[in-house]
Each structure stands twice: as structure tokens, then as C-alpha cells.
Amino acid sequence: MNENSAKTRRIDGVVKWFDPGRGFGFVVSSEGGPDILLHANVLRNFGQSSVADGAKVSILTQDTQRGVQAIEVLAIESVSNGDAPGLEDFQSMSPEEIRATPLEPARVKWFNKDKGFGFANVFGRSDDVFVHIEVLRASGLSDLQPGEALAIRVIDGRRGKMASEVCTWETALNTETKA
């Protein structure tokens, strides 16, 4: 019956892998079963262009002729274990101190995944904010696109402004609304 194939289910799982270049990846359900296709368009509808391998996700799925597919991302939880990212600039700060820094609206200037870093600009300020790939991964992301809207926590590092946490603008808005 076609009616059954149109039913949606909420699934919690973990990102097995996601390749922004190929435009898709897979989620492993916490309930077991086949891998779930996560298409880049579904991720973009959530406001992200990438997601880190190992990130916890909540998604709505549908069974299709090609298998189980995500049709909506409901939540993405970072892969961070709550510790400060392993960069020297953060070692003297506790996770609580980092989280006490306000989220600020920013836009990606550029990011090179192969080099492992890039820069963003906080709205209304001209100085660049360094974004390291380890901070990105700890925040549940794997890549950034130029012009992408973000919310970032900025600290003063040894060589200038640095992002200590990165999240999508939509995630920040949802977090602030719940607070």
C-alpha cells in the first residue's frame, strides 16, 4: 500500500558519514536497521551545509523504493564530550567559561577543510575571527561555505580573535528562543 510508504517516523541516530561534495551521507539508527540516506538538501533545509561524522541527530524518515531516507532534520547534537576543544588557546579555559561567552552573529569569509581552518566576520565588526576545524568538529559541523550565516562564541587567542564554538544561525535562534 502506498499509504504505508508515506508514513514518517522519528529516528534518533548517529551520522555514519556525510560528504558535502557528493551531496549525501548516511545515518545509523539507534534502533538498528538499514542505514538512512541523508541528502544535502534535507540538511540545508535545517540550515547546515555539512554535519560531522559521529554527530547525534534526530530526523524524520520515510521508507521509499530506494530504502529509508531522511526527509527532515529535527536536531543535531555536537560530537563534543563537553571538554574544551584541544587547542592551546582554550586549555586555560573551562567549558563553563567558554559557554559563558555570548553567541554572536557572523558570516563565513572562507573556510578550507583541507587546510583545517578559515575565517568568519562578526556582523558590525571588520576584524577576522579564526575558525579551526577541530572547533568546527566539536560543534557538530564538518565544513563551512563562504557567506554561510553562523553564530559563534569568540575569545581572544594568542594571535587574535578565535571561534571557540560554532553553530548555524538557525540553531542559535532556536536555542535563544528556548532559553
More confident residue, 15 or 177: 15
Query: Reduced to 3 states, what is the DSSP secondary structure of residue 129?
Result: strand
How does the average pLDDT of the chain come out, rounded?
Answer: 84
Greatest extent of the chain over all pairs of C-alpha atoms, in Å: 62
Chain segment 32-56, per-residue pLDDT in tens: 989 999 999 998 888 787 888 888 8
Domain 88-178: give its CATH code. Answer: 2.40.50.140
- Provide the pLDDT confidence category of residue 4 given band limits of 50, 70 and 90: very low
Sorted by where each begins, the domain ranges of the chain are 2-77, 88-178
Query: How many helical (H) and strand (E) elements, i.e. helices and strands, does the chain have?
Result: 5, 10
Residue 105: per-residue pLDDT: 94
Query: Reduced to 3 states, what is the DSSP secondary structure of residue 177?
Result: helix
Chain segment 150-163, per-residue pLDDT in tens: 999 999 888 889 99
Chain segment 125-171, per-residue pLDDT in tens: 989 999 998 888 888 788 898 998 899 999 988 888 999 888 877 76
- Provide the pLDDT confidence category of residue 63 given band limits of 50, 70 and 90: very high
Rounded CA gap, 47 and 54, in Å?
19
| 115 contacts: CB under 8 Å, gap ≥ 6 | none
The answer to whether domain 2-77 and domain 88-178 are alike in fold is yes
Give, as one character, the DSSP assignment of residue 11: E
- Provide the pLDDT confidence category of residue 3 given band limits of 50, 70 and 90: very low
Phi-psi map region of 11: left, alpha, beta (phi>0 left; psi -120 to 50 alpha): beta
Domain 2-77: give its CATH code. Answer: 2.40.50.140
Residue 128: per-residue pLDDT: 94
